[in-house]
Amino acid sequence: MMNITELVTAFTTPTPEFVAAFTSSAPEWDYDNESSTPTGDYEDDATLCDKAAVRQFRMFYEPAFYWIIVILGAIGNSMVVWIYTHFQNRLKAMTDVYLLNLALADLFFLCTLPFWAADSIYGWTFGSTLCKIVSAIYKTNFFSSMFLLTCISVDRYIVIVQTTKAQNSKRVRLLYSKLICVLVWLLAILLAIPEFIFARSKEDIEGNHFCSMVYWNNENNRTKILVLALQICMGFCIPLIVMIFCYTIIIRTLLRTKNFQKHKALRVILVVVAVFVLSQLPYNSMLVFEATQAANTTITDCEEVQRFDIANQVMKSLAYMHSCLNPFLYAFIGVRFRKDMLRIFNNYGCLPSLKKSKLQGSLHRSSVLSDTETTNALSL
């Protein structure tokens, strides 16, 4: 027979079996690792799931990969900005205005990656205010990049499919392009408001601080689901639908033309769409799964949660690569852009081995290929 003291101790001291049973049947796991910012939400890690393995993976994977993206993206996008600021007369077509804004958006986006790289190694040491600012800048430029890619698709559709209308309204379309860019930036800032509201520095069970999204505790995680749905729809689904529609009509139009650059244009279109889908679809699929889990949690195994978080990290990095590929997909491939780049290199003596007559011949051929806006769009 147990005395009173032993009986109280038995009821107040949980056994290992009881702890295991309780934690295995926890009603909700932490799926906020990549909810809306590049960092994880480590809320309630002490009672839910130990993310040490995920943090270890981030420490070795993210810094190197992010710095590769930053270096390549900075070189490519800076070159685009340099060309457009050096040749002021280049900004006379809608696509050129969009490309300049796209390069600026990508550069601002790349400026946030070193913060996330440092966060993966040392934790977030910059405070909650900077956490909100960096997260908002990151999301603003993410949305603006997606919207500008959509605008470029629409502009190419107008130039190639509605050639006569495009030529007659060139000045009006140029004015519209500047107004559209202003609206794109305003809409992107509006969509980044959740980052200002929910992003903050949070401490994990090991005493490390991380910049993460911490949502309100409402029924069925409605706030988190709404934020994720907004990102998926505005940052992927709508741009993808518009791109597929525009490029499908463009391909049909090109197939009926006899332009000698038709096959090159078709290849470029296919590459542009393929790169967008391959880079953005995997990450957005993970976001859909994350939103589903937030609405109706089915995974209750900590190892599965960790695998999900690691896969999310990899897919997210793949999506970020688009920021350093944009200059090569949209700017460097155009004959006019290459022509201007050769001119700058020649003026600064960066092409000593290229003979002047050969360079002039190359520039003349390039100018012949891009006399009209329509031909430039065909050559992309």
Instruction: Write down the pLDDT at residue 34.
Output: 39
Q: Which domain holds residue 89?
A: 48-333
Does residue 113 surpass a pLDDT of 80? yes
DSSP sequence for 154-180 = HHHHHHHHSHHHHHHTHHHHHHHHHHH
pLDDT bucket at 40, cuts 50 / 70 / 90 = very low
Instruction: Write down the pLDDT at residue 261.
Output: 66
What integer best gives the mean pLDDT of the chain? 76
36 in any annotated domain: no
pLDDT tens profile 310-327? 898 899 988 999 888 888
Mean of pLDDT values over 95-102:
88
pLDDT bucket at 17, cuts 50 / 70 / 90 = very low
Instruction: Write down the pLDDT at residue 165.
Output: 66
Instruction: Write down the pLDDT at residue 6.
Output: 42
Mean of pLDDT values over 27-46:
41
Instruction: Write down the pLDDT at residue 94.
Output: 80
27 in any annotated domain: no
Residue with tokens 């200002």: 196
299 in any annotated domain: yes
Percent of the chain with pLDDT over 70: 73
Does residue 241 surpass a pLDDT of 90? yes
What value does the CA radius of gyration of the chain take, rounded to a whole number of Å?
26
Domains in the chain, number = 1
Mean of pLDDT values over 235-253:
92
Instruction: Write down the pLDDT at residue 302.
Output: 80
> Which of 37-41, 57-61, 219-223 has the highest mean predicted lDDT (pLDDT)?
57-61
Does residue 279 surpass a pLDDT of 70? yes
CB distance 49 to 41 below 8 Å: no
Of the candidates 238, 188, 194, the residue with the CA atom closest to the CA atom of residue 216: 194
Does residue 56 surpass a pLDDT of 90? no
Alpha-helix runs per DSSP H in the chain:
4-12, 16-24, 52-86, 94-122, 127-161, 163-168, 170-191, 193-198, 222-232, 238-255, 262-295, 302-320, 322-326, 335-347, 356-369, 373-379
219 in any annotated domain: yes
Q: Quote the CA–CA distance of 342 and 79 in Å, as a whole number.
A: 12
The size of the chain, in residues, is 380
Instruction: Write down the pLDDT at residue 299.
Output: 67
Does residue 71 surpass a pLDDT of 90? yes
41 in any annotated domain: no
Instruction: Write down the pLDDT at residue 38.
Output: 54
Q: Quote the CA–CA distance of 32 and 234 in Å, as a whole number.
A: 20
Instruction: Write down the pLDDT at residue 10.
Output: 38
Mean of pLDDT values over 162-187:
82
The pTM of the full predicted model, rounded to 2 decimals, is 0.78
Q: Quote the CA–CA distance of 315 and 278 in Å, as a whole number.
A: 10
Does residue 86 surpass a pLDDT of 70? yes
**Residue 37 backbone dihedrals phi, psi, to 5 degrees:** -115, 165
User: Please, is 157 exposed, middle or buried when counting C-beta atoms within 10 Å of its C-beta (0-12, 13-18, 19+)?
Assistant: buried
pLDDT bucket at 368, cuts 50 / 70 / 90 = very low
375 in any annotated domain: no
User: Please, is 368 exposed, middle or buried when counting C-beta atoms within 10 Å of its C-beta (0-12, 13-18, 19+)?
Assistant: exposed
Instruction: Write down the pLDDT at residue 171.
Output: 74
> Which of 34-38, 90-94, 202-206, 295-299 has the highest mean predicted lDDT (pLDDT)?
202-206
pLDDT bucket at 297, cuts 50 / 70 / 90 = low
Q: Quote the CA–CA distance of 80 and 102 in Å, as a whole number.
A: 9
209 in any annotated domain: yes
Crossing angle of helices 222-232 and 262-295, rounded to 10°: 180
At 266, the amino acid letter reads: L
CB distance 39 to 210 below 8 Å: yes
pLDDT tens profile 128-148? 999 999 999 999 999 999 999
CATH number of the domain encompassing residue 213 = 1.20.1070.10
5 in any annotated domain: no
- In what helix (H) or strand (E) does residue 210 lie, and over which residues does it extend? strand 209-213
